[in-house]
Structure 1
Amino acid sequence: MAGRTAHDMTEGPIFGHVLRMIVPMSFGILAMMLVGIVDTYWVGTLGTAQQAAVQMSFPVTMLVMSVSIGLGAGAVSAVSRAAGRKDASSIPRIATDAMTLSLLSVGAVSALGIVFVEPIFRGLGASDTMLPHVVDYMTVWFGGIVLIVGPMVASNILRALGNAVIPSLMMIAAAIFNLILDPIFILDDVFGLFPGLGWGVSGAALATVAANALTFAMVGWYLVFREKLIDFGWSDLGEVWHHWGEIARVGLPASISNIFNPIAMTVAMSGLAMARFGDAAVAALGVAGRIEAFAIVPLFALSACVGAVTGQNGGAGRLDRVREAFRSSFLFCIGWSAAIAVVLWLCADLLAAAFLPSEAGQATAVFYWRIVPLTIAGYGITIAASAGFNGLGRPGHGMAITAGRALGLMVPGVLIGAIWLNAPEGVIWGVAFANVVSGTLAGLYILTRAPMTAKHGKARKVPTAPAAAGEDAS
């Protein structure tokens, strides 16, 4: 298998491979989540309009990042299945084509974003006081998006080969660098100790871009010189198009799948659901969800890693190991959910008092933490299942599972719950309902009826040289 630190996950304990990747990925994800919180704090010191501008940019940045996450999933699928087939010679070419496709795609998005940033956010309703700050922030962000996406795709290539430690170290390094640069780039004066650059919201975006540029340089060096996973030789366009098609075949549905859950949460927060019960209820749902997100970081890490395990074993034709990868992942979701449910149940009152000022908001958050975590295994199962099917080259299955939970169950669940109980608790019951039903149905289907074989795109037709004159063509 290509790469010095690549792991052959077609042999050895399945759960051992999964756990070996989950632990470092969890630390990497936690570090990046911490950056988001610190960014919000420093920008908040600039003023309300600046903080609102950065918050308003979130849906657009999430949409763009969903595309890059999908392309990363496509890269994981193609590389891991090649690794499972023991097709080491093609892995550097696939990895190279995955990087070029991602960089060209986000490069086009970058150019369009810079040109149309003002009309985009004016159309989204940015106020006259907010709009200049949005333009300042997003112009820098769009300008540097290639440097943000590049390390993500490179890390996905390494994870496809079973290496989760280096990507996690890169994420932590980027987070530390970002945390150091934030106050220097954003503020005029840093703690009264030394002058900052005072670039405001532009500085916040630039700190993110600069941190990721450093990470891109490090992971790029690692891919090129350490792992020899980038092929600088010329490849005919037919092979490049074939690899791009195989990556996009998984990447595009995966990108769409990443949009479903934010849509469902937007509906849950909207005036049709939680917002109808006042600002305190909306704040409670937001805080409860953020705390829960920290608590289930290992489930996010699982979804980032399981596709490599299913991809390698599917590529090797080890169907028994593919099913075991799903089964052990689901058991991990159930075990972690149970542990987190106990912790949040015991700490609910303390957390609510610490983060929410109103008694009504505190009561809503406490109710959430004592109900939803009991069901969060279902959410974990759906995201792990989706990632596992992406690894097998079956993104349609993953998209159906994700859409089923978010759009088929959660959206109607929170709307019906809000109307039926006419209280915030109805929205919370709707979230819990979606988790339980989606997780149960997905788990039963996958462990009893779902195909475990890897699905490959159409084989590339390689032109054959014409027979020499006088040669027997029979």
Structure 2
Amino acid sequence: MTWPMVFGVLSLMSFQLIDSAFIAQLGVLPLAAQGFTLPIGQLIIGVQVGLGIATTSVISIALGANQEKYSKQLGGLVLALGGVGTAVICLLLYLIRHPLLEMLGATADVMPIIDTYWIVWLLSSWVGAVLYFLYSVCRANGNTMLPGIMMVVTSILNLAFDPLFIFYFDMGIHGAAVATILAFGLGALYVVYRIAPKNYYSFDWKDLDLIKSIKSLFNIMMPAMTSQLMPPLAAMLSTKLLASFGTAAVAAWALGSRYEFFAIVAVLALTMSMPPMIGRYVGAKQADNIIKLVKVATAFIIISQLVIALITLAVSGGLSSLMTAEDNVEKILNMHLIIVPFSLAPLGVCILLVSVSNALGKPMRALLVSSLRLFLFFLPCLYAGAHFGGIQGLFYGAAIGNTLAGIFAWVAYQNTINKLQKMERLALHFHIQF
């Protein structure tokens, strides 16, 4: 079930990276304009993922209890709540765009571009959210093949549409958003066409307890969403700091962040595939197997991410020139690619262990690790690095913050697993005695 989604996630990462690469050819101001949308985009994605996790949980439980009609009603409820809720969020973000962008540090020269781009980009975000909720309903019903394939297809469509609308129709940065709207829109229409006969969703809610159903979704959604919303908050604070170094720094950070997402796709794959296995080991009281599994996964992450970092170091000059045509952006991006990727190994370990904590039934421990990663390690180190070393120090600060977060996550995991082993030994002791 995991591999289709792995290829899907990989294609989405490529999607975002290619989008940024095309926009980079337009100059530093359009790329900076896209950079200012990055933290807001993460905010919208945080809401999507929170509801998506709740969707998978609640619908799969209903199906497990043979409540097929209820599962279909929940599917319809998720699509309605997600579509309307995201539309309201996008509308609010449009209405408060000026104070929000000023808070992020947008300068007067980039504001006119963002002002016209904002509404088209928000529409593309809404279409993407609707498609994501359709994917969530599919996954909840055990269908990961269709979402995985469609993620690849929509990425290919976007790759084809981007140069067409950006350059051929001379729409500039607006063309990138239009390309996304068309790619995601066509994807959403096809998914609806494929799943409608399967009755994955229903809008017949006559006998549905709406309040109870919405509450069951929100009980799971809120903790998950809280965890997902912390990165965009940290991204907003990071963007504000980057803005103090100029629009070129914001543009380079946006490109570097896209590359980082692409580089850790193997880590994201593990966070999807390991929790079911860990859950089974927890149920069977086999903590030793959990330890072995996590050790193997951690070793894989450290080795693979160090290899990626070395490759990135070797090709950083050519890669940065390929990703942007602006000399000042290229120089800063090259600095990012040389320094930060070496910290993706401990960052990957931290991300994995947050997923493991959730699988061990310790969501608050996972939330704590996620919070401290950003607000105790990453952001303070980022600001300290910028203060003492300028833009280069900022990148070293990011790398140090990621490394400290990985170490802390490992210590927290060891504490959790030791307690689990102790509980197993006590249970075995009482079983033998009685």
TM-score bin, normalised by smaller chain: 0.7 to 0.9
> TM-score, with normalisation over the residues of structure 2?
0.78
Q: Determine helix, strand or coil for the equivalent of 1:232.
A: coil
Q: Which residue of structure 2 lines up, in the alignment, with residue 219 of structure 1?
A: 191
Q: Whole-Å Cα distance in 2 between the matches of residues 284 and 199 of structure 1?
A: 22
Q: Which residue of structure 2 lines up, in the alignment, with residue 441 of structure 1?
A: 412
Q: Whole-Å Cα distance in 2 between the matches of residues 139 and 364 of structure 1?
A: 30
Match for 1:344: what amino acid?
I
Change (3 A) 1:340 1:429: same
Q: Determine helix, strand or coil for the equivalent of 2:284.
A: helix
What is the 5 A alignment of 1:393-408? 396-408=364-376
Q: Which has the larger radius of gyration?
A: 1
Matched, 1:135 2:110: no
One of 43, 65, 71 as aligned partner of 2:45: 65
C-alpha contact 2:41 2:125 (8 A) present in aligned 1 = no
One of 316, 323, 330 as aligned partner of 1:352: 316
One of 176, 180, 186 as aligned partner of 1:204: 176
One of 285, 295, 312 as aligned partner of 2:263: 295
Q: Which residue of structure 1 lines up, in the alignment, with residue 303 of structure 2?
A: 339
Q: Whole-Å Cα distance in 2 between the matches of residues 131 and 283 of structure 1?
A: 14
> TM-score, with normalisation over the residues of structure 1?
0.72
Q: Which residue of structure 2 lines up, in the alignment, with residue 178 of structure 1?
A: 158
C-alpha contact 1:150 1:216 (8 A) present in aligned 2 = yes
Match for 2:318: what amino acid?
A
One of 105, 111, 114 as aligned partner of 2:85: 105
Aligned positions, number:
411
Deviation at 1:446, TM superposition (A): 5.2
Matched, 1:382 2:353: yes
C-alpha contact 1:418 1:427 (8 A) present in aligned 2 = no
Larger fraction in helix:
2
C-alpha contact 2:347 2:402 (8 A) present in aligned 1 = no
Deviation at 1:117, TM superposition (A): 3.4
What is the 5 A alignment of 1:260-339? 260-264=230-234, 290-304=258-272, 309=276, 319-320=283-284, 330-331=294-295, 333-339=297-303
Matched, 1:48 2:28: yes
C-alpha contact 2:264 2:348 (8 A) present in aligned 1 = no
Identity over the aligned pairs, expressed in percent? Answer: 22
Q: Whole-Å Cα distance in 1 between the matches of residues 124 and 339 of structure 2?
A: 41
Deviation at 1:234, TM superposition (A): 2.9
Please say which of residues 333-342 and 239-248 is displaced more in the overlay.
Answer: 333-342
> What do you get for the CA RMSD once the two structures are aligned?
4.1
Q: Whole-Å Cα distance in 2 between the matches of residues 126 and 361 of structure 1?
A: 19
Q: Determine helix, strand or coil for the equivalent of 1:436.
A: helix
Match for 1:300: what amino acid?
L
Deviation at 1:169, TM superposition (A): 0.7
Which ranges in structure 2 are unaligned for 5 or more consecutive residues?
A: 321-326, 424-434
Which ranges in structure 1 are unaligned for 5 or more consecutive residues?
A: 1-19, 190-195, 453-474
Match for 1:96: what amino acid?
G
